[in-house]
Structure 1
Amino acid sequence: MKKKGLSELVEVLLQEVAEFKNIDKDVVLDSLKDALSSAARRYLQLQNRVDVDIDVETGEVSVFLRVEVVDDYPEYDLDMSAEEVAELDEGYMLVQNAQRFNENAQHGDFLEMEIPIANFGRQAIQTAKQFLIQRVKEAERAQIYESYKNKVGMLITGTVMRTEKRAHYVSIGPNVEGVLLESGQIRKEKLKRGSPVKAIIESVNEASRAGSQIVLSRTSGKFLEELFRQEVPEIAEGTVEIKGTARDPGFRAKIAVLSRDSRIDPVGACVGMRGMRVQSIVRELSNERIDIVHWSEELPTYIRRALSPANVSRIFDVEGVQRSVVVVSDADLAQTIGRNGQNVRLASNLLGRTIDVFGESDWAEKTEEEKQIIIQPRSEDLRKEQKEAGKSLKELFDEENTSTSKTDELDGIEAMVQAGEDAAVEQDLEDADEMVPLDRENLEN
């Protein structure tokens, strides 16, 4: 058969996969062979192996049944799996079945017959079509995974193609779509069909039968990093290093930077001439306010910079855990905490430790005993350390010599901490509902 004379089945199958333009031709060809083989088995109502030959130059297609005729299936090694046994059985046909095609077939004969694909029937055609589409889609998914699995964290620019159930589907390449889930969207921005959009590739799923394999994000700290890397040449070149980020997407963010060249100010490099560099990023993030922090290996210095422009007067490091207590001027207290605790929460995330903030007058009114309780490890601190270190709460208390192994003593410490917190002077700030964590200097008023 010449290509123009192919059966309706082959024509239909080739049309069905025409949209998968990026799939390797050999993959499509192998999938077509498997689809025709599946259709032939359905047509014959047998599970035997069917061979399909396709001449890619002439378009000639041949479908053959090639089996060995047997009285009974042979016995196989007991170690073989059911799948391996089934595959071997495909090469054999029982005598009674073989005589359907050749009445003289006997045990030991080899039966070979060509199957006219034009006779497969509508149901067999539908089965072959579904099989082929499934195989080609699987190949497409595998190809996308191989192409994008090493691009996680990469900044991409795409176009919004459609929106379904609050998820935006974004074209990021020829026949490649990424999905921007609600969790990856900046809350106050609205993306419409045809809108250009930047995002990072957050994850790539190897097997995803529904939806997109590639998950995008505009809310992660990595997205902020990549925007700065794109906008600031010193970061792209490695002269300025990003040490950490913290975000409340669409509202406020903090990014810590360090210069590897003493002649270059890392903060100034990120801000740019007349603020042009950072303003470009702010616009991309729907006017998200960005605090650029000069990173320091000295924790007290880093804490002060993370809370800037607040006037931090004292810092107490809570020994053995990732928490610090900070005392600031009363005038700076509201600004330090921020609206709904936003500023101190972002600073905590940037620093990787909890920060508790007190005003000067509030701290001065506390007794020495109350101050000691505040700067001691709390039960929640120890639970956090326990989770990170895989240790029991009792072991952590023992290491700090703050309790014995008795359960009632642990309960007593927790109650004591709670009492200390309850004894803290009330703050007149509605935005300071939570106390947040920070380096010990001394306990003097």
Structure 2
Amino acid sequence: MSKEVLAVVEIMANEKGVEKEIIFDAIEAALATATRKSYDDEIDVRVSINRHTGDYETFRRWEVIEDATLIEDNVGWYIREMDAVDVDPNIEVGEFIEEQIESIDFGRIGAQTAKQVIIQKVREAERKKVVETYSKRVGEILTGQVKRIDRGDVILDMGDNVDAVIPRNQLVGRESFRMGDRVRAYLQEVSFRPRGPQLFMSRACKEMLIELFKIEVPEISDDLIDIMSAARDVGFRAKIAVRANDPRLDPIGACVGMRGGRVQAVTNELNGERIDIIMWDPNDAQFVINAMAPAEVTSIMVDEDKHTMDLAVEDEQLSQAIGKNGQNIRLASELTGWELNVMTQSEMAEKHETESKDQMDVFINALDVDEEMAVVLVEEGFTSLEEVAYVPATEMLEIDGFDEDIVSELKQRAKDALLTQAIAEEEKAALAEPAEDLLNLEGMTPEMAKQLASKGVITQEDLAELGTDELLEYVEMNEDAAAELIMKARAPWFE
């Protein structure tokens, strides 16, 4: 029988492409299962196969348990510690006592049982091998052959009995494929599912666009050009920002290629998606101006605190700057990471005038200064009382007409105004009462609701807009409970 065991191991290892050790383990499990069944599962069994000779031995075994443990099932599988020490004085709970018994004939074990156990073990090994192989390739573009279409999802045959899926929402536009078509897609995830490992791929993600350029433009693979960011309106238009690490190299020209060959190859792969190649710039404002192409930006206002930019364009270029259904401004915003607002020059001037007037009113009322002084502060770039209060005095002394007395007085008035505002806000918060929907929210206590109201979180909607970290700053609770409470507050969003 030893030769038969070795022959089975050799054949199955070669056919399935898995390690021999896995086949040995599977046969041991099959022999142990068959042996237990011959004893009506009243005993626990371990089988050990000699990896060199194929000989095998069978052992009945008992797991050592604590004396007070109650046993309801498989009584013959366990032995109490007080009895086990009679066999081995050094035995500990959790270990096993074994006794060799007669081995069953390998050729006569339940064929169906053996087959099922071996197939299961081999499948597990194959699945593990797939996960290990493809997990290393996440982030690559792979090619597969269309096996079938399932409710709009494209199932690809990757070879070696490995399938991948491109979900319907990860396809480019309205592209369609037929059985046998070869398709390239970006491997996003390898997930282990009950029926085996599943490869999830995408043709709609921006990483697909980036990887295609890496394939078509050798300078990117050679680190002569870097892709800094990308944005896509899948199937219609995309923007990609590049920079050159060699000042002698034109990164846009390299990505476009001779007669547009390189960018056209990417466009063809993405079902005709139009691609704008943008020059990246370390200056955020200039980068945004570049990203707005083909529209020309005439002026720009940056709000770093809100991370927004207001862009002005000529009246006749407004529609081009916005793009069809807001496409151009949306892609530029995603590409640069800034929230962008585009308007005409006249609208920009009007907005600037309105904001300046509002800011002047704040300075006039809070600092008790005349309009002329307020105009000077606004023109010098002061936008808040905090800036007046805490900007270094040396900077304010550089303003024409300002001396130490004026600067000192302005800063003190600003600090007094801020203190008055803070006291008023605290008094208002202390008197704040939580709304009924917040009090009635499942998991909310009156004390917690009162505490949240004092922080300005009055309604269920206010709570829904918080992040977990913010809620933990307001009330004392664990992170999981905070996340669960926020999700309950957000429940109306999904109804």
Structure 2 residue runs without a partner (length 5+) = 84-96, 360-383, 390-417, 433-454, 458-495
Give the match's secondary structure for 1:296: coil
The AA in structure 1 aligned to 2:241 is A
- Provide the C-alpha distance between the structure 2 equivalents of 1:238 and 1:275, rounded to a whole number of angstroms: 21
Q: Where in structure 2 are the equivalents of 1:354-433 lying within 5 Å? A: 354-366=339-351, 368-369=353-354, 404=422, 405=425
Counterpart of 1:21? 16
Q: Where in structure 2 are the equivalents of 1:196-207 lying within 5 Å? A: 196-205=182-191, 207=192
- Provide the C-alpha distance between the structure 1 equivalents of 2:118 and 2:331, rounded to a whole number of angstroms: 51
Give the match's secondary structure for 1:189: coil
The AA in structure 2 aligned to 1:42 is K
Q: How has the CA–CA distance of structure 1 residues 322 and 211 changed in structure 2, closer, same or farther, with 3 Å as cutoff?
A: farther
Counterpart of 2:215? 230
Give the match's secondary structure for 1:49: strand
Tell me the TM-score normalised to structure 1 length. Answer: 0.69
Report the CA distance between 1:360 and its aligned residue: 2.4
Counterpart of 1:113? 102
- Provide the C-alpha distance between the structure 1 equivalents of 2:133 and 2:188, rounded to a whole number of angstroms: 15
Out of 134, 157, 169, the position equivalent to 1:148 is: 134
Out of 309, 315, 323, the position equivalent to 2:300 is: 315
Instruction: Give the structure with the higher percent helix.
Output: 2
Counterpart of 1:67? 60
Report the CA distance between 1:175 and its aligned residue: 3.0
Range with greater deviation from structure 2 (36-45 or 277-286):
36-45
Q: Where in structure 2 are the equivalents of 1:86-235 lying within 5 Å? A: 89=78, 110-117=99-106, 119-121=108-110, 125-205=111-191, 207-210=192-195, 212-235=197-220
Counterpart of 2:27? 32
The AA in structure 1 aligned to 2:47 is D
Query: Is the 2:65–2:79 contact (alpha carbons within 8 Å) kept by the matching residues of 1?
Result: no
Query: Is the 1:49–1:91 contact (alpha carbons within 8 Å) kept by the matching residues of 2?
Result: no
Report the CA distance between 1:178 and its aligned residue: 2.1
Report the CA distance between 1:214 and its aligned residue: 2.0
Give the match's secondary structure for 1:26: helix
The AA in structure 2 aligned to 1:312 is V
Max Rg structure: 2
- Provide the C-alpha distance between the structure 2 equivalents of 1:239 and 1:55, rounded to a whole number of angstroms: 54
Q: Percent identity?
A: 34
Counterpart of 1:269? 254
- Provide the C-alpha distance between the structure 2 equivalents of 1:254 and 1:39, rounded to a whole number of angstroms: 63
- Provide the C-alpha distance between the structure 2 equivalents of 1:128 and 1:399, rounded to a whole number of angstroms: 78
Counterpart of 1:284? 269
Question: Any idea what the Cα deviations from partners look like across 1:275-317, whole Å, max 9, x if unmatched?
Answer: 0100010000000000000000111211111001212111111
Q: How has the CA–CA distance of structure 1 residues 220 and 273 changed in structure 2, closer, same or farther, with 3 Å as cutoff?
A: same
The AA in structure 1 aligned to 2:177 is L
The AA in structure 1 aligned to 2:119 is I
Query: Is the 1:246–1:255 contact (alpha carbons within 8 Å) kept by the matching residues of 2?
Result: yes
Query: Is the 1:154–1:201 contact (alpha carbons within 8 Å) kept by the matching residues of 2?
Result: yes
The AA in structure 2 aligned to 1:216 is M
- Provide the C-alpha distance between the structure 1 equivalents of 2:36 and 2:30, rounded to a whole number of angstroms: 10
Report the CA distance between 1:40 and its aligned residue: 2.5
Give the match's secondary structure for 1:336: helix
Report the CA distance between 1:238 and its aligned residue: 0.7
Question: Any idea what the Cα deviations from partners look like across 1:50-81, whole Å, max 9, x if unmatched?
Answer: 31537788xx675x54237x9xx755599x9x
The AA in structure 1 aligned to 2:129 is Q
Report the CA distance between 1:228 and its aligned residue: 0.4
The AA in structure 1 aligned to 2:138 is V
Counterpart of 2:374? none
- Provide the C-alpha distance between the structure 2 equivalents of 1:136 and 1:245, rounded to a whole number of angstroms: 43
Q: How has the CA–CA distance of structure 1 residues 189 and 255 changed in structure 2, closer, same or farther, with 3 Å as cutoff?
A: same
Q: Where in structure 2 are the equivalents of 1:50-65 lying within 5 Å? A: 50-51=46-47, 53=49, 64-65=57-58
- Provide the C-alpha distance between the structure 2 equivalents of 1:14 and 1:91, rounded to a whole number of angstroms: 41
The AA in structure 1 aligned to 2:184 is K
Give the match's secondary structure for 1:242: strand
- Provide the C-alpha distance between the structure 2 equivalents of 1:195 and 1:215, rounded to a whole number of angstroms: 18
Tell me the TM-score normalised to structure 2 length. Answer: 0.62
- Provide the C-alpha distance between the structure 1 equivalents of 2:245 and 2:261, rounded to a whole number of angstroms: 23
Query: Is the 1:50–1:66 contact (alpha carbons within 8 Å) kept by the matching residues of 2?
Result: yes
Question: Any idea what the Cα deviations from partners look like across 1:143-181, whole Å, max 9, x if unmatched?
Answer: 122222222211222222222233222233433332212
Give the match's secondary structure for 2:235: coil
- Provide the C-alpha distance between the structure 1 equivalents of 2:14 and 2:233, rounded to a whole number of angstroms: 41
Q: Is 1:348 paired with 2:341?
A: no
More RCO (CA 8 Å, sep 6+): 1
Question: Any idea what the Cα deviations from partners look like across 1:246-265, whole Å, max 9, x if unmatched?
Answer: 01111111000001111111
Counterpart of 2:452? none
RMSD: 4.0
Report the CA distance between 1:367 and its aligned residue: 6.9
Query: Is the 1:155–1:199 contact (alpha carbons within 8 Å) kept by the matching residues of 2?
Result: yes
- Provide the C-alpha distance between the structure 2 equivalents of 1:212 and 1:161, rounded to a whole number of angstroms: 17
Q: How has the CA–CA distance of structure 1 residues 18 and 232 changed in structure 2, closer, same or farther, with 3 Å as cutoff?
A: same
The AA in structure 2 aligned to 1:307 is M
Query: Is the 2:295–2:317 contact (alpha carbons within 8 Å) kept by the matching residues of 1?
Result: yes
Give the match's secondary structure for 2:286: helix
Range with greater deviation from structure 2 (189-198 or 225-234):
189-198
- Provide the C-alpha distance between the structure 2 equivalents of 1:55 and 1:308, rounded to a whole number of angstroms: 69
Q: Is 1:48 paired with 2:44?
A: yes
Query: Is the 2:65–2:80 contact (alpha carbons within 8 Å) kept by the matching residues of 1?
Result: no
- Provide the C-alpha distance between the structure 2 equivalents of 1:48 and 1:301, rounded to a whole number of angstroms: 74
- Provide the C-alpha distance between the structure 1 equivalents of 2:229 and 2:257, rounded to a whole number of angstroms: 19
Range with greater deviation from structure 2 (211-220 or 327-336):
211-220
- Provide the C-alpha distance between the structure 2 equivalents of 1:162 and 1:56, rounded to a whole number of angstroms: 45
The AA in structure 1 aligned to 2:33 is S
